Structure 1
Amino acid sequence: MLLFKRMKREIKTEEALSQSDFDLMQQENDQMLDQIEALKLDISDLETENKRLLEQLTRSKYQRSLIKTSMGLGALVASYILLHLINEEAQYTAMLLSIEAVFMFVMLRGDDQS
């Protein structure tokens, strides 16, 4: 005994695309792939330019002089701490540190000129 009217239904799993739609999608896909390749090339060019600029910056005189100046100031601070630890008198500490500072200044100027 059938309570419901049963019908066999076909389930469409995939709609058929027309050839023109398929060609249009293929063209769009190719254009996007070309754009991706162009962007990859742009990125590699920019990375190369970035590396070149970083190398130029590290070789610049300004950065080298800043590093040397900071090292000189660090040496002055270390000298002051050492002189303070050995209980050197204040007038001699000032004189020794000023002599050291002049010496470092002359050395830095000599490096910049060569």
Structure 2
Amino acid sequence: MSAALQQPSLPSSGVFFTQQSSTVFSSSLLAVPLSTVPAQTLKVSLSGALIQITLRQRSTGLYADFDAGGTRILSGVLCQDRTWLVRESALGLVGDFLFTDTQGQQDPDASGLGSRFLLLYRASALP
């Protein structure tokens, strides 16, 4: 597992639709760098906050935990293609995350993290 501070980058430009039927412009998203391993922990500085993300591949899917300021915000969130993971600004995160499949519409798994499956961050949570 890696806990090094990761620097997000901008994904290529374009438009895609989330499972919640909202339109998202990729220019408003940052890509969180991931490794192709089944269990990883990384820290990213986003919107002025240090966020720790832990990803674990299980037989039933890929799951995420989110910590901000040393406090667990969410635990055991099932990662699905183009589905916002946080969805609740009241939880203490200043934005939201989603995975997108760059080659189709499959839910993410560890074998394609960082290449086929991108973890994207949006600075402002959806209404």
Smaller-chain TM-score range? under 0.3
Radius of gyration: which is bigger? 1
- Which structure has greater helix proportion? 1
Q: TM-score under structure 2 normalisation?
A: 0.19
Q: TM-score under structure 1 normalisation?
A: 0.20
